[in-house]
Structure formats: C-alpha cells, structure tokens
Amino acid sequence: MDVPPAAAAASSSNDDASQARRLVMLEQLTSGYGFDTEAAEKALDEVGPTSEVSVVVNYILENGMGKDRGGSVVPKTDCPHVNDHVKVTTEKLPDHPQHALCSFFAQEDQDMDDNNNKDRIGRLKSDTDDPDDNGKSCPAGENWFCMECGAIRCSRYVNGHCLAHYQETEKGEESTTGHCIAASLVDLSVWCYKCEAYVQDPLLDPLIQRLEQLKFQEASEPKKKKPRQSHPNDERYRVAQSSGDETTSNNNNDSNDNDDDDDEEDNDSDASPTIIDIATAVARGIPIGLFQSSENEEEEELQYSFDKLPKSVEDVAKFIQSDKCRNIVILAGAGMSVAAGIPDFRSANGLYATMNPDLLSADPVEREAIRMDPTVALEQGMFLQNPLPCLELNREFILGTRNQKWKATLAHRFVELLHAKTGKLVRLYTQNIDGLEDQCTQLPRDKVIAVHGSMDRAECAHCGQESDYGQFCDRVRDQIKDLSGNDEQAPQESTPITCTTCGSRAVKPAIVLFRSSLPMTFFENVPRDVLDVDLLIVIGTSLRVAPANSLVWRIPKTALRLLVNREPVGWHLGVAYGPDSKRDVFAQGNCDFVLLDLMAHLGWLDDLRPLLDEQKLPDACAALLRNRLGKEDESSSANPSS
C-alpha cells in the first residue's frame, strides 16, 4: 500500500517517539528497578505500548520475572491508592519525628497486654526482674509513618516492619485493604507498596510539609529533659511514647513531668532533620518547597543593611569595614579546600564524576544505584546494608586526614583573619569534613560548626558508639582496598570494620551520611546566629544539600549575600544575581583568588606573610600569595607615598 508522504513522516516520528519511550522505560526498569535487561525487554514486548512504567513493573513482579529490589527513584504522580489509603490528619503526625522509633514491638506488647499475659509495658511477668532486659526494639534507623493508621515501622534496612505492616493489613477480609502508603520519617519521601514506587500527590503535601515543620521545630527547640518512664530500662516504653502511637501516652505531656530522673541530659545527637541532596529530593518526590523560603521579597519595603549594593570586591571590603556591617556568617563548602588538593563533589573532576562504581565492593544493584545517584554510596541506609563503598571512597581521605596531609587554604585564612581583625564573625558553618579550620589557631573552635561531621573521629553507624580513632585508621589501612591503586600495602579485597561495642560491621568516620541527621549543634545555633546577620558569605558550595543550604534564606532578608564560587548557584533558594539583584553579589572565580583580593582591599596582606615563611599554605595558595605580595611590593616601591 502507498503511504502518503505526510502520513509516512508522522508514522516514522511516532515510531521514533515510541522507540524513545521504550528506551527510557528500559533504562528505568534496569537502572531504577534493578531488573535484568532480558526480563525488562520481554515484559515490554508482552505488555505492549504503555506510558506507565508501573504497569510493566507489576507485570514483571506478578509473573515472577524479577525480584522487587526497592523500586524506582522516579516518583509516580498518579498513584491510584492515595485517595483511599491516606487517612491520617496532621494532628496524628508524630510530635517528634526524629525520635520516633519503630513501634512494632510496642504494638506486639499491647496485643499481649490485651491477652493479660504480660504487664503494662508488655514484658512477661517473669522477665521483669532482669535488669539487662531492655526489651526488644528495632535499632534506630530509617522509620516510616503509615499514612492510613499512623503506625510507625522500620524500613527494609532495619527489620522490614513497615513492609510487614502493609502485608498484615492486606490480609484483611476486603481485598482493597492494605496500608500501602507510608512516609519516610528520614527524608519525607512517600512510598506506595501497591505501586512499588515513590509517589507524589497534592493530597500528601500538607502532611509532608507539617512533618518537615515538626522536624525543624523540634531540632531548634532547646533540649528537653528526658520524659519520665515507668521503667527507665525499658526501651519499648520509650519507643511507644515517642512514636505517638495511639495505644500509648503522648510526648506532649512530657513537660509536666517532674521526675527526679529528669536531671539526666538527653544526649541524643541524632535528633535533627536529615541531610539530603536537592536532586535526590526532586527524584523522590519530596516537595521542593521544603527547601525554599516561602516569603515573597518583592512585596516588602526593606531597609537593607547596606546603603548601596556593592558592585565590586572593593565595595564589599568597604562594607565589611563599615559600622553597618556588624555580624557576618560564613557558609562554606568543598570548593574552599580544593586548593589544598582535596577534590570537591560535583565538579567535573569532583568525587562523584570521577568515581568508578565498577571498582566498588558492591553487588550489581547497589552499583547501578550508585551509578544513577553517587550520593547513594554515602547514604546511611546503604552504609548499614553495605559499608564498603563508602569506606573505599573515603579511604584516602581518612588516611590523609590522620597524616595531616593537607594544609589550610587562603580561604580558611580569610575566615581566621575576619575573626581576628574585625571580631564580626558570628560563625563559620562548614560542610567540609576535613577539619582544616583547626590549623587556624586564631579561630576559636566555637566559631566553627562542621555541619556534616568530621573525618578525625570514628563511630558506629549502628549503635552510635565512638571508636578509637587510631585503631579505626589502622583498620581502614589494613582492611579497605585502595581504589587509586597507589598503596601497594593495601589489601586486594575489602572487609568491613566491626564495632567492638555492638558487633555490627558498621564503623565509619564521624561524618554525616545522607539521609541521616545533622549534629544538634547546627539547629541549636542557627536560630540565634542568623538573627542579626548583616552579611552572609557563601564560599565554594553548590548549595545543593539541605538543610545546610537553608542558611541562605534563614538570614534576615535585609542582609547582603556574597557568593564566592566558580559558577553562580542557589537559584532554587531564591538567590538572584545580576542587574536586578537586590542583595546578592556574585564574586566569580577561585575562592582563594577572590578572597585574597578581598583581604588586599581590607589591608590584611601583611598578616599573611608569616604563612609563607612557615610554609603553612598549600603550594597553589603560596604561589598566589607570593605573586600578589610581589605586585604590592612593586607598586609601593614605585609609589612610596601610597
């Protein structure tokens, strides 16, 4: 049959489109869901043209062609189950999401209590004398909140009680049952067990946003004393309390408690919102609004802390020296240490682009997940499942830190001098874990908050116990393979490092992993520190990671923001450069260069000279400084009166 040219063109472009669609789905099925290519191809052939990847996924699962390996990270926006299975209201959300632990055993206890076999908190009457019996409870880790009944259950990385909750409730008489929608209390993504996918739906937004508020609120509240417990050793009671489980008492009453034991400080350092990359958040359907300020700057008449928006580094120097600038906060990222020889994460030669997932000790599914999103290698859940990729990626960094391989850069020295010369530095919030600020002896320790932890200590990711740092480094050297191939002494195969306290294979540097919590000190200090800020200096960060990046919008709207970076960043946080900018100044370039220029305008170059004699700068910074000092010396000898 003859086909008219236009129809032929249309048909061929349809073919192209469906071929492209097929390829995208194939990628999702293999990379996202971890199915074999063969099974994915076969299922696509058998299901036929469909725009729904979940239809193909279900087909594969129902026909036993592949195993459920955790599902895609691309959220589904048309989950048909949200309407029927999201029944909780915001009042039912746990008051303290970060303290919420899996209430599986508490529930089990309650059931037994109903049977009169156990005491009020669920232990066998004969068990109660055993002081070591802390009861069964799931270890701290990722927990999920059932959007249908409010139960809190642990993730597949812990004991899989959330999945079990879905399966148990599905066994009810009606086939439409099954509490299938659950929200992660760690990163607030929402999962549907029936769709086997992350889901996104406007119906979920108010709940998720309220959860986020609760997390921030609690973290920024002053520490509360521990609630009274009828048996202080019984973990299960605490579990039930903090979960907000209907069957137990509510945490809201804690403050009325006047138990003597309350004097005990709550030292939980994990009670804080979690760290997440913006791209991961988008991929997992976490509302992007959670990362932004909701305030509309345009509607207000503001009295800025500066008279005129600075147009140059020299103008910024003048502002710093003026009385108008009283309080300065700095937010730093990996770019600050690049001149020291430590690569950043997201640049073309950064850790994520240069890592080779094939070299990591991981199974094919883990490797694929890391290939798709390199931050997976640094996720808490992944670490508990398989700690080796994280340790392998950090081996050189861990050993280099111990051997004090790197020197503080000019950017670090700028922060030091800013404090020493002006007294205006409120705080340096650094996302870096290299501890290079410690070399700046004029910068007091309490001026620095390492929001993502530090490489110079070790701890167990499972029980939280601190490990001997020297011993940990020795084990990293002896047990973890060297991806660079430079260390001939390194083992060929990696073996995990076991915690001497709990026996888990989970010892790691004391850094904050993705989808785990920031140190409490961040949340304790931020609300105070941002109050009267006149200038925020952002140095060498992509501003991709929350909640550290929230400083950008937490400071007063009247404050000046100076970004010192290789490229402009922060659009998603409301930062706006260019002619229409109201309070943002972009100083483009390597931060050492820009900040050296700033220090020159501030008249601090002579303070840097001793660093050259004492060889305290990395080579690149020393060369930069020498060059600048040479020029200054030349111009002052040419013009002695200046």
CA distance 415 to 631: 23
* Interface characters, 249-288, with ligand OAD (x: CB under 6 A): --------------------------x-------------
* Interface characters, 579-598, with ligand OAD (x: CB under 6 A): -----------xx-------
Q: Which residue in the list 452, 462, 572, 601 is annotated as catalytic? A: 452
CA distance 532 to 634: 41
- 473 known member of a binding site: no
The window from 58-66, 153-161, 339-347, 436-444 that contacts ligand OAD (CB under 6 A) reads 339-347
The window from 74-82, 245-253, 340-348, 388-396 that contacts ligand OAD (CB under 6 A) reads 340-348
Nearest to ligand OAD of 212, 344 (CB atom): 344
Is residue 363 a contact residue for ligand OAD (CB under 6 A)?
Answer: no
* Interface characters, 282-321, with ligand OAD (x: CB under 6 A): ----------------------------------------
Is residue 545 a contact residue for ligand OAD (CB under 6 A)?
Answer: yes
Is residue 569 a contact residue for ligand OAD (CB under 6 A)?
Answer: yes
Active site residue 452: yes
The window from 195-203, 317-325, 341-349, 365-373 that contacts ligand OAD (CB under 6 A) reads 341-349
Is residue 375 a contact residue for ligand OAD (CB under 6 A)?
Answer: yes
Shortest CB 138 distance to ligand OAD, Å: 24
CA distance 457 to 468: 8
Shortest CB 172 distance to ligand OAD, Å: 41
The one-letter amino acid code at 195 reads C
Shortest CB 212 distance to ligand OAD, Å: 19
Q: Mapped to the 3 state alphabet, what secondary structure does 308-352 carry?
A: CCCCCHHHHHHHHHCCCCCCEEEEECHHHHHHHCCCCCCCCCCHH
Is residue 418 a contact residue for ligand OAD (CB under 6 A)?
Answer: no
Find where tokens 């050189």 sit: 396
CA distance 142 to 151: 14
The burial class, CB within 10 Å (0-12 / 13-18 / 19+), for 547 is buried
SS3 204: coil
CA distance 602 to 588: 19
- The answer to whether the Cα torsion of 133, 134, 135, 141 is positive or negative is negative
Is residue 572 a contact residue for ligand OAD (CB under 6 A)?
Answer: no
Return left, alpha or beta for 503; rule: phi > 0 is left, psi -120 to 50 is alpha, else beta.
left
In terms of Cα–Cα distance, which of 438, 445, 446 is closest to 408? 438
Find where tokens 């000046």 sit: 560
Structure tokens at 35: 């199915």
- 154 known member of a binding site: no
Give the CA dihedral 123, 126, 130, 131, nearest 10 degrees. 50
SS3 11: helix
Is residue 542 a contact residue for ligand OAD (CB under 6 A)?
Answer: yes
> Considering only residues 512, 526, 563, 617, which one is a binding residue for ligand OAD as defined by CB under 6 A?
512
Under 8 Å between Cβ of 246 and 240 = no
Shortest CB 338 distance to ligand OAD, Å: 4
Is residue 452 a contact residue for ligand OAD (CB under 6 A)?
Answer: yes
Is residue 541 a contact residue for ligand OAD (CB under 6 A)?
Answer: yes
Kindly tell me the number of DSSP H helices and DSSP E strands found in the chain.
21, 17
- 463 known member of a binding site: yes
Phi first, then psi: what are they for 616, rounded to 5°?
-95, 0
**Whole-number Cα distances in Å, 402 to 245, 276, 471, 635:** 45, 27, 11, 42
The one-letter amino acid code at 30 reads T
- The answer to whether the Cα torsion of 512, 515, 521, 523 is positive or negative is positive
Nearest to ligand OAD of 195, 520 (CB atom): 520
Judged by CB under 6 A, the number of residues near ligand OAD is 28
CA distance 551 to 536: 9
Nearest to ligand OAD of 32, 540 (CB atom): 540
Shortest CB 377 distance to ligand OAD, Å: 9
CA distance 316 to 586: 11
Which residues from 135-194 bind ligand OAD, rule CB under 6 A? none
> Considering only residues 350, 400, 464, 556, which one is a binding residue for ligand OAD as defined by CB under 6 A?
350
Shortest CB 367 distance to ligand OAD, Å: 18
Nearest to ligand OAD of 127, 567 (CB atom): 567
Annotated binding site: 460, 463, 499, 502
Which of the residues are catalytic? 452
Annotated binding site for Zn(2+): 460, 463, 499, 502
Which residues contact ligand OAD by CB under 6 A? 275, 333-335, 338-339, 344-347, 350, 375, 378, 431, 452, 512, 514, 540-542, 544-545, 565-567, 569, 590-591
